[in-house]
Each structure stands twice: as C-alpha cells, then as structure tokens.
A and B are shown apart, each in its own frame.
Chain A
C-alpha cells in the first residue's frame, strides 16, 4: 500500500467532466453544438437532465457506499444493506400500483422518497438508542428483506399486466426519458445528503480504531449513526426515486478507490462521490452505445459489471485469508 496519491482527486474530477461532456454529446440524434433550436431542445430537455442525473445519482451511490463501509468498517457494505433503497423501491412500486405515478408527473419519485423516509425511520427505530453498527445491519437487513417481500407481493397482486411490466422495468434502473423536473426534485435531497455525509470524515477516521477509541477521540456514536443513516436516506432515497435501483456502484467504487487514498475514510468520501458519478456516466454511455434501442437497463448493466468484480473480490479475499 502507498500513501495517498495527490493526483487522485484531480484525475477523478477530470474523468467525470470528460464523461459528462461525452454523455451530453451522445444520443440517437446526431447534432452539432451551436445548431438549431431543435438541437437546443434535444440538448436541454433530454441530454442535460440525463447527464445531470447521472452525476447526481452516481455521486449519491458512491459517497453513501464509502460512508457506510467506513461506519460499518466492512468493505462489503453498500447502501442497499441498510434498507433505504428497498424502501424507496417499495414506495415507487406502490406509486405505480395505486396509480399515483400515472396521475401526475412526479408522483413516482415522490412515492419513492416517502418509501425511503419510512425505511429510514423504521431502521433507526429498530437499531435502538444504544447499539452499535451490528444492530444497524440487523435492522437494515430486516427492512430490506421486508421491502423485497412486499414488492413481490404487490407484483403478484397487480391485476394490470402493464403495471406489472412497468414495475419490473422501473426496478431495473434507468436514466432515460427523464426531464429537468426530475433533476429539480432529486438535486436538493441528494446535495443535502452529500453535504451531511461529507462532513462525517473526522468521525469515520476515528472509528478506524474501534468504537471505544472513537468515543475517546470525541465522537458521538449515536449522532454519527443518525447522520450516516439520514445522509444515506436523503442521497440514495432521492437517487433511487429518479433512477430506480442501481446496484453495485456503492459497493465497487469505494473499494476500488480506497487504496488510492491511503485507506483513509475521510479522503474516500469525496473520491467515491466523483468515482460513482464517473461510473454511472460511463455505464449509461455504454448503454446508449451498445443498446441504443433501450432494451438493456442501467441497473442490469452495473450488475453485469459488478458481479465479476464481486467474484474477484471473493477470490482475492480468499487468497489473503489463505495461510
């Protein structure tokens, strides 16, 4: 392992910028900048929201993953583990099922945000006032399993086959066909969540030496847990609300970047936000290139990339543990 590399942040920022520009320039309608009014419309109504959402969603997933891995001190943690994305998905599915999603434009994301808030409240309540990370994982796993079961129940109860297909499609995650309204809806909670999480670096660093030493170094463990969960709920809840469930980003990105920032949790937070944005932009770009018709979904692609990585993670952990 090397100490932190000074070029990591500038390099990630440059990568994200390049991918964002590429994302703005890619689409079925070939167009040149400085073109017609129609080209401007395509740019501002279709591509700009897609790119902005890619950045916001990726940053939310990446930084939440880094914060949760730091808090739980487990490189396998990701935002899904504390039940927030499950809650958001359940809220969205209920919005589709009840017709709320069809009745007005942002009905679905609002349902998802409500679901994320509900999941957050239940997880915090279940985790209790004293317990440490373990009770949070247990509470999160309970909520995640419950939401999965309830989503399956809503699917089987769905009498309208179109609604069922819509639910399944939505669950796979996508950034396509989003408008600036989605951006305006998701940006405030995501940005607020990112601000909350980015300020936890000091406490996450202290937690490297365990809960007692962190407490001795002035960290309030209860406050830290509250902020980790709230920040994740704001960021990932809003991200899921506008993009569906996109897996593995919150798991892989912090894992790849950790050695590059000297394993320091506080440095990993901003790096993972940029890395997450870059990965989601890249996956969404790849999607538009390999499957312009939209048959492939973003969440499916990240899982397809993520699973081999996960296997590699298991193999390398096994190698490390071998005598």
Chain B
C-alpha cells in the first residue's frame, strides 16, 4: 500500500509539532523514522494511522486521503502499534492477539496462530498478559498488530524492551511482510537496525525532516551528530552497518 504525505503540518494545542513533512513510500518497503526525543516521531506515526487531524497537507494511502476512508476501511488498511503497552485487563495472550481480528469480524485462527508463531509466543498463548515480562508483553502486542493483516503496519518503537534476538526476529518479520508487498513504517532508536533493515530513513529534528533517503545517505555522522547532539560511529562490520553513539558533543 502506497503512503504519500504531502506538506503535512500538525499542531498539538498551540505547539506546532510537525511541519512541511513530505514522504512517499511504495508497497514492499520498510521506512524507518528516527530522531531525538520530542522530534515528532510518534505524532507523525499517529497522523499516518489517521488518529489525529492535520492542520495542513494530506496523507493518502493507496491514492485516497485518510479522511475519505470509512472507519472500518481504515481499520482493515492500517495496523497501528503504539509505544504505550497498556493491557487493561489480564486477558490471555491469545485473547489479546485475537483483538487484531476485530476489524475483519472473524476470528481466523490461522492468522492468530501465524502471529503467535512469528513473535515466538506460542508457548505463552494461554498465560494472562499480566504475568508476562515486559518484553514478552511487547511481543504479544506486536502479534496483535500482525494478526490484523493490514497492508500498512505502523509501529512506534516496537523494539523497546526487546532482547537483541527478539529485536532481530521482529525486523526479519517486518522484512517478510515487506517481501509480501506490505508497507511498514517504524519509529525506532536503534539506528543500526534502521541501517540494516530499512529501505528508507527519515531523520526528524524539531518537527521537520532534516534528512530523508536510503539509510547509507541519511545515517551519516554529518546528519546524525547535529540532530542527536552526540558523536556517532558509522561503520561496516562483516558487511553489516553499525551506527552507534559515542560521546555527547560539547
């Protein structure tokens, strides 16, 4: 599903959080949104999911502006995974994942099983989420979004709290979705993961795009150091890109 943002401007209260955002992502691609805290990453993702109104500009999916889609169509087109990981009742993990089927009005067990397997939580399926660790709960919530089987997946820092093995597994899963022709937009702080798995990276700073393009063009010390205020090590190890913060800039 193609996602096109054109001149997006968005304010929360009196504060302009995003301004002059342009982006076009074709199907089958992973787009990573990176930037320091407060840069507007989460707001951008929420806007793409149709959860907050824009002040100016348009966001279109598959050629149609978000506002033109009915609520049910939107729910089938976009799976949104917020950073917040609240589960308000101690449901069984499987019951949480099954919530992802609500937009389809079916319980399609294959979709639920596939999502459980993809997140390596089959053995936890019958446990209440209240008894799971933070990382396990995070995987249950990703599985909920996967079970939604939407052509566009928007995930806000899905790797936070995951161990390295599960973080890598999550991105392999995103890669799999992309090869199936789906679109993934993901905000993250792990720049090495962005460098390795994303097809396209947007660097946000103060609500504006400060760099946008393929990872090797965007994730460079020249772009990253002023945005994050730290010196960055950008290198290649065994053919894989590594981007790591080194020290705070004076």
Contact surface of A with B, Cβ cutoff 8 Å: 1, 3, 73, 202, 205-210, 212-213, 215-218, 220, 258, 262-265
Contacts and interface: CB of A to CB of B under 8 A. Distances in A.
Contacts of A216: 49, 51, 74-75, 78-80
A202 B89 contact: no
Q: What DSSP secondary structure best describes chain A's contact surface?
A: helix
Contacts of B92: 1, 3, 262
A210 B130 CA distance: 15
Contacts of A207: 88
Q: Give the top 6 A-B pairs by smallest Cβ distance, nearest first.
A: A218-B75, A73-B88, A216-B80, A263-B89, A1-B128, A217-B102
Contacts of B72: 218
B86 A210 contact: yes
Given A218-B76, A258-B89, 11 more contacts: A208-B99, A212-B80, A212-B82, A213-B80, A213-B144, A216-B51, A216-B79, A217-B102, A218-B71, A263-B90, A265-B89
Given A209-B144, A216-B51, A202 B102 contact: yes
A2 to B, nearest CB: 9
B55 interface: no
A208 B79 contact: no
B46 interface: yes
Contact of B82 (A1, A213, A262): A213
B14 interface: no
Interface of B: 46, 49, 51, 71-72, 74-76, 78-80, 82, 84, 86-92, 95-96, 99-100, 102-103, 126, 128, 130, 141, 144, 148
B51 A208 contact: no
Given A216-B49, A218-B71, A209 B80 contact: no
A209 B96 contact: yes
Most-contacted residue by chain B among A202, A263, A265 (CB, 10 A):
A263
B95 A220 contact: no
Contacts of A209: 86-88, 96, 99, 141, 144
12 contacts: A3-B92, A73-B88, A208-B99, A209-B86, A210-B82, A212-B46, A212-B49, A213-B80, A213-B144, A216-B78, A216-B79, A265-B89
Contacts of B96: 208-209
Residue among A202, A216, A258 having the largest count of chain B Cβ atoms under 10 Å: A216
A217 B148 CA distance: 9
Contacts of A206: 99, 102
B103 A208 contact: no
Contacts of B141: 209
A201 to B, nearest CB: 11
A274 B51 CA distance: 37
A216 B48 CA distance: 11
A215 to B, nearest CB: 6
Nearest to B79: A216
A205 B95 CA distance: 10
A205 B90 contact: no
Nearest to A205: B99
Nearest to B98: A205
A66 to B, nearest CB: 12
A22 B130 CA distance: 41
Contacts of B91: 208, 262-264
A218 B128 contact: no
A210 B89 CA distance: 11
B87 A208 contact: yes
Nearest to B131: A1
A263 B96 CA distance: 11
Contacts of A218: 71-72, 74-76, 102-103
